[in-house]
Structure formats: C-alpha cells, structure tokens
Amino acid sequence: MPATKAYAALNPADPLVPFQFDRRETRPQDVQVEILYCGVCHSDLHQVRDEWGGSIYPMVPGHEIVGRVIKIGSEVKKFKVGDLAGVGVMVDSCRTCKNCKKEMEQYCVEDMTGTYNAMERDAVTIAQGGYSSQIVTDERYVYSISPKLDLAGVAPLLCAGITTYSPLRYAGVTKGMKVGVVGLGGLGHLGVKFAVSFGAEVTLISTSPSKQKDAERLGAHKFLLSTDAQQMKDADSYFDVILNTISANHDYKKYLDLLDLDGKLLIVGLPPEDPKVKPFALLKNRRSITGSMIGGTKETQEMLDYCAEKNIVADIEIIPIQQINEAYERMIKNDVRYRFVIDMKTL
Ligand code: NAP
Ligand code: ZN
Ligand code: ZN
C-alpha cells in the first residue's frame, strides 16, 4: 500500500500536525496522482474545527488538488502516466442513481463521497484529502488539466472555481444581467471573474472597503460596501442574481432586499449557524433562494476547459505546508488575497 506523508487534524482543538497513512493499491479504474499543489478552502477550516458537526478524525483536509499522474490501473482510459490531473471535493458516488446518471454526482441520492472527512464506500476506510503527497482516485472523479495554465493557480478551481461557475451557469448569467457577488474571498474572487467573463454587469458586495481596488482589478464594474446602510438602501431591488459566498454567521434578508423582480439569491457559503430568512423579503419581487453544491464531474471538466480557453486561474499566495495553521488564522482574520495554495514539495 503506498505510504503517504500528510498533515492532519487529530481533533477539533489542536493545530494540524505531520501524519502518515497508507493509500489503497491502484485498482483497475484508479489513477494515482503525485500531489504538487493543494488549495486551502474555508471548508477545510470549518471541518477541521468541527463547525458543521460530525467531523471524522484523524482528518487530512484538502480538496483543491492538482498534480501529475504517476500510475494508472489496467482499465484507465482518460489518463496516462505523466499527465497533469486534478481531484476536487468528491471522490466517489453510487454511480447508478438518477443524478449520478446525469453526471451530477454531487447530488447522488446515496450521497457523494467527500474527498476527506468522509467514509469511503467500503464504510471502513476514512477518505483522506490533499494535504498529502499523493492520492489514488477512480478516474471518473479525476480531471484533465491544461498545461497552458499556471498549475498552482488551477488548484482552487477544483472547489472554489466549480462552486461559483455552476450556480452562475444554472442561473443563466449572461450579457447585461446585474450580478452581485457577496464576499471577496476564495470563492468570491472566482465568482467575480466568471460573472465578468459571462458578460454580466458585476458588483462586489463586501464588508471590506480595502478590497475595492482589487475588485476593480478582477473586473468588477461596481463596489457596494455592505456595512454602509445608505449604499445598501440605494441598491434596493437592483440585482437579477446575487451569489452569496459568506463563510460567517449572517442573515439573508440584507441581501434579499437587493433583488429585483424574480431575482435569485444563490447560496454557496456555509456558515456554522443557520441564517434567518424573512418571508416578506421573499414575497416582495417574487424572489427565490437557491443552494448549490460544487458541480458534477461533467461540469467540472467543462469549467476547467473554459478556464483554459479564457485564461482564468485563481489569485494565490503559495505557502509551505508548515504554515498551514498560520494560514487558517489569517483566513479567519480575512487576510487572504485570495487563496492560499500549499506547495506540496515542502511536505
Ligand atoms: P474565504 O476565502 O474565507 O472568504 C469568505 C468571505 O466572506 C470573506 O473574504 C469576506 O469577504 C466574507 N465575510 C467573512 N465574514 C463575513 C461576515 N461576518 N459578514 C459578511 N461577509 C463576511 O472563504 P471561501 O473559501 O471563499 O468559502 C466561503 C464559504 O463557502 C465557506 O463557508 C465555505 O465552507 C463555503 N463553500 C461552499 C461550497 C459549496 O459547495 N457550496 C464549496 C466551497 C466552499 P469581504 O471581506 O469581501 O466581506
Ligand atoms: Zn472547498
Ligand atoms: Zn448516485
């Protein structure tokens, strides 16, 4: 069994520490990937600290994985040794239910298998993520990556990228639509890039005045400071679509009020406590709230190909694995521009 070096959380309270475990032997449909970079998602932090409940330890986080194929099983079709490859938030699903058949495996009726903080489908192995030297995954859940793009900048596309691409596509975001993106973090900055590339008029809705310049550099047309009551009032009923990426506790009403007739609040942020919703804010303008979880295998590959065509990658700060605990603290302080990516050579 391939011995694997990693960093893991052993409980919700202590920092991540060096850790070693065995990956499974490569099965006929498996691809073994040497991990070169792994993005740091706010979901890693939520789960390490058990903010959603039910966390499984020891936990090797990381679901924004890119690297090089070092071994393939006898039946693998999509990859050969030496190819660049990516693994995202999901490593398995039942493969037979109606949603799996539509390649929307993230909505598998029997639940997808998360890349970490989950049990594999054998119900005995803990799935372990990308803060590690290598990963062995069925090729269905492994993506091809264009060598045209900066590889470290591609890593965050595997979660932050697809999580923002999918709901914006689902909402039919197109030329001329008024789109608000709430929160300029890992997800938000890619949400801005995608919405701009789809031709929308994009407004960053943020609590951080210091991010206005960056929002403009990323292509946003307008900036709305959500802590300024007058600015929020002036934007009442303005937007067609608002993508909410907030990681901290908050109420939805503040953002619902900004939606025009038939406007949609797209929820991707997962704060520890459930936000409040006022029915009156929904009734006005026939607004709706839609949740969205990452994307299926087909759409994830489509998104990666779209990024290669449009030259879209994340804005990143590369860190050695030894700085992961400090990176988490900086993420809580909202001090990340706009995604940490771990250089796995440092492991
Ligand atoms: P992040 O990089 O930490 O960004 C979160 C942003 O939220 C911050 O940059 C900040 O933006 C804003 N924010 C923070 N505290 C706030 C507050 N109290 N009120 C209003 N805004 C606040 O996090 P991320 O990695 O992008 O992840 C965002 C959320 O999405 C997390 O909850 C994560 O678990 C979730 N997520 C969901 C999926 C999915 O499939 N649906 C996938 C991945 C992640 P400003 O400074 O601009 O205000
Ligand atoms: Zn994530
Ligand atoms: Zn299924």
- The residues facing 136 across adjacent strands are 32
For the Cβ of 211 lying below 6 angstroms from any atom of ligand 1, the answer is yes
- Which residue in this structure is represented by tokens 């991707």? 268
Ligand 2 centroid to 204 CA: how many Å?
A: 21
For the Cβ of 332 lying below 6 angstroms from any atom of ligand 1, the answer is no
- The residue range of the domain holding 185 is 161-291
**What was the pLDDT predicted at 143?**
98
**What was the pLDDT predicted at 1?**
79
Q: Whose CA is nearest to atom 27 of ligand 1?
A: 42
For the Cβ of 246 lying below 6 angstroms from any atom of ligand 1, the answer is yes
Q: Is 319 exposed, middle or buried (0-12, 13-18, 19+ CB in 10 A)?
A: middle
Do 119 and 130 reside in the same domain of the chain?
Answer: yes
Q: Which atom of ligand 1 is nearest to the CA of 160?
A: 43
Which has more confidence, 255 or 2? Answer: 255
For the Cβ of 300 lying below 6 angstroms from any atom of ligand 1, the answer is no
> Is the dihedral angle over the CA atoms 278, 280, 283, 287 positive or is it negative?
negative
CATH of the domain at 167: 3.40.50.720
Q: Distance between CA 122 and CA 126 in Å, rounded? A: 9
Do 147 and 90 reside in the same domain of the chain?
Answer: yes
346: pLDDT strictly greater than 90: yes
For the Cβ of 46 lying below 6 angstroms from any atom of ligand 1, the answer is yes
Residue 13 CB: number of other CB atoms within 10 A? Answer: 9
For the Cβ of 43 lying below 6 angstroms from any atom of ligand 1, the answer is yes
Cβ atoms of residues 346 and 320 within 8 Å: yes
**What was the pLDDT predicted at 2?**
84
**What was the pLDDT predicted at 179?**
98
Q: Which atom of ligand 1 is nearest to the CA of 268?
A: 41
User: In this predicted model, what pLDDT tens digit does every residue of 178-221 receive, in sequence order?
Assistant: 999 999 999 999 999 999 999 999 999 999 999 999 999 999 99
CATH of the domain at 328: 3.90.180.10
Q: Whose CA is nearest to atom 40 of ligand 1?
A: 293
Q: pLDDT > 70: what percent of the chain?
A: 100
Of 335, 336, 320, nearest in space to 38 by CA: 320
Q: Which atom of ligand 1 is nearest to the CA of 332?
A: 3
Helices (H), 15-157: 42-48, 98-101, 151-154
Query: Which of 246, 264, 291 is a domain's end point?
Result: 291
Number of domains in the chain: 2
β 339-343/316-320 pair status: parallel
276: pLDDT strictly greater than 90: no
- The residues facing 184 across adjacent strands are none
- The residues facing 68 across adjacent strands are 34, 84
Name the pLDDT band for 62 (thresholds 50, 70, 90): very high
